A = this chain, B = another copy of it.
């Protein structure tokens, strides 16, 4: 039944505009045309210049026939061009598909075809694989090369035109239009599925807008941050930070590769105030020689996510004086959609407790409506007892549109009105979510669940350990037992027996790894440990029990 507020009060051009994060770029370029938007090696751009470059790109793409619902794929590092693609591509109505730069040609070809890419923008560094991928895909595409002066390694151009030459022909004042519907897709992010084909996660303008603001509000980011790009922009669109930085009117400090020395130099030189990354990034900074940090005396705030951060990382960051906040999310939730919100009273607790409390997955982001732990089948909430395991679920506006051309996987993921993360967790008595494991990473030994994360957390406390990964390996007696892969710190050495003893003193005996393997641990480019490789290895390993 209509009420008085439903009559004569409709949407019109003056009072309703579909949400889009592109609007933040327009605002910042208008208000702060001369502020630095990007620093990359010797290059500097102002917001006015960046906006003009994005509009040039958009106008040229449109001239090539790109528009609503077309896909533009890119394989780029954290360069100004990558940042520009986050605006120039969706300005046309097209969808940005950022690809992981470590992918092999076959996977790239799969994505190009599945996403139906019409344009492919490629950094010269990836010439070899992309050339192969383009041949494999057999698609009719416009291929554009990025030849970054900061890159001096091998790689021929593979496309028909250079990015700079391409946008040079564009219109810096191009009159782009925002989406007619905020539910329109803005980007496509393939998950690095460990089995089967990757799934294409689709984001919309509404969610990108809301997470751009939520990053600011949930982190408490002040205006005009200096943000260092340690996190790849190809990963969940850099957790939406390209759009956040446009709203924040800050400065992007670009970085082609993650390297402790380069990061610390950039922090010192450009007075970086904020950065994000997987635990491995922070570990590297903690492990770096102290003299590399000399001269950094301003406040640096960091977000950590992408994998549960070992307590040792949080503790180490504390020790070097960086303020670290733990966020949690998945590709399906625009990157971070929950935060381990800090409580003032934690500050008076022993460091160990602070570290434990700050290492949780926490509570919902401002713009996400819910995070909870439910029984996957009954969809009933687990008690807040820190014991009963369930699956972490999200709902709200920071949840993907769905998986591209995969209604079955989409329906499965959204079963019961919640997005099922596949992560197992408990709810702690203060209502904070604490992850225990990925469903597939849990180790079931003699009927008992062993959280690999919990065991790893203890392993990280050993001074010789740089990286630790625990996986299940079949056992005739127990069904499964834990097997630990350890990457040692430079110059450190330790035996399996010593590690076992170390564990026995700190955990229930059934949780102590039965095997220890000392070698480099394989990781994805975003720092995630590739446990599926380790599981294979654990089966065949001859490591001493």
Interchain CB contact under 8 A, A15 and B213: no
Query: A116: CB under 8 A from chain B?
Result: yes
A434 to chain B, nearest CB (A): 15
Query: A202: CB under 8 A from chain B?
Result: yes
- Kindly list chain B residues whose C-beta atoms are within 8 Å of the C-beta of A402: 8-10, 15
- Kindly list chain B residues whose C-beta atoms are within 8 Å of the C-beta of A400: 15
Q: Find residues 176-235 in chain A having any chain B CB closer than 8 Å to their own CB.
A: 183-185, 202, 213, 216-217, 220, 222-223
Binds B, one of A25-33, A55-63, A273-281: A25-33
Nearest B residue to A35, CB-CB = B344
- Kindly list chain B residues whose C-beta atoms are within 8 Å of the C-beta of A405: 4, 7-8
Query: A470: CB under 8 A from chain B?
Result: no
**Main secondary structure on A side of the interface with B:** loop
- Kindly list chain B residues whose C-beta atoms are within 8 Å of the C-beta of A431: 30-31
- Bound CA span A343–B397, Å: 33
Interchain CB contact under 8 A, B24 and A366: yes
From B15, B71, B184, B395, A414 is in contact (CB under 8 Å) with B15
- Bound CA span A217–B15, Å: 21
A431 to chain B, nearest CB (A): 6
Tally of A interface residues using CB under 8 Å: 64
- Bound CA span A340–B345, Å: 37
How many of these chains are in the complex?
2
Nearest B residue to A20, CB-CB = B369
Q: A3-B70, A5-B202, A8-B410 are in contact. Are A395 and B24 (CB under 8 A)?
A: no
Interchain CB contact under 8 A, A217 and B220: no
Interchain CB contact under 8 A, B216 and A13: no
- Kindly list chain B residues whose C-beta atoms are within 8 Å of the C-beta of A396: 15, 17
A241 to chain B, nearest CB (A): 15
Interchain CB contact under 8 A, B417 and A5: no
Query: A69: CB under 8 A from chain B?
Result: yes
A397 to chain B, nearest CB (A): 6
- Bound CA span A185–B402, Å: 30
From B13, B27, B223, A363 is in contact (CB under 8 Å) with B27
Query: A247: CB under 8 A from chain B?
Result: yes
Nearest B residue to A400, CB-CB = B15
Interchain CB contact under 8 A, B222 and A407: no
Query: A6: CB under 8 A from chain B?
Result: yes
A535 to chain B, nearest CB (A): 30
Apart from A4-B69, A10-B401, A17-B396: 16 A-B pairs, beta carbons within 8 A: A5-B184, A5-B404, A6-B69, A8-B405, A9-B404, A14-B394, A14-B399, A15-B400, A15-B414, A16-B397, A17-B395, A19-B397, A30-B363, A31-B431, A213-B213, A213-B217
8 nearest A-B residue pairs (beta carbon): A3-B69, A13-B417, A5-B185, A9-B401, A15-B399, A8-B407, A14-B414, A9-B402
